[in-house]
A and B are shown apart, each in its own frame.
Chain A
Amino acid sequence: MAAIYSLFIINKSGGLIFYKDYGSAGRMDTNDSLRLASLWHSMHAISQQLSPIVGCTGIELLQADTFDLHCFQSLTGTKFFVVCEPGTQHMEVLLKVIYELYTDYVLKNPFYEMEMPIRCELFDLNLSQAIQKDRVSLLGR
Chain B
Amino acid sequence: MIGVGKAKQYANVLDKPLSRGRQEVSLSAFAFLFSELVQYNQTQVDNIAELERRLEDAGYAVGARVLELLCHREKGNRRETRLLGILSFIHSTVWKVLFGKVVYLITFCIWKDNLYQKRYVADSLEKGTEHEDEYMISEKELLVNHMGAFNCGAFVAGIVRGVLDSAGFPAVVTAHFVPIEGQQRPRTTILIKFAEEVLRREARLG
Contact = CB atoms under 8 A, between A and B. Distances in A.
B106 A111 contact: no
B148 A101 contact: no
A104 B106 contact: yes
B149 A108 contact: no
A122 interface: yes
Interface in B28-67: 28, 31-32, 34-36, 38-39, 42
A52 interface: no
A132 interface: no
A110 B108 contact: no
Contact of B28 (A108, A109, A120, A125): A108
A110 B148 CA distance: 6
B106 A122 contact: no
Nearest to A105: B147
B15 to A, nearest CB: 37
B107 A108 contact: no
B184 interface: yes
A104 B39 CA distance: 17
B38 A100 contact: no
Contacts of B152: 110
A111 B38 CA distance: 8
Interface in B165-192: 184
A104 to B, nearest CB: 5
Contacts of A126: 107
24 contacts: A100-B106, A100-B107, A101-B107, A104-B28, A104-B106, A104-B107, A104-B108, A105-B147, A108-B28, A108-B147, A109-B148, A110-B35, A110-B36, A110-B38, A110-B39, A110-B42, A110-B147, A110-B152, A111-B38, A111-B148, A111-B150, A120-B149, A122-B149, A126-B107
Interface of B: 28, 31-32, 34-36, 38-39, 42, 106-108, 146-150, 152, 184
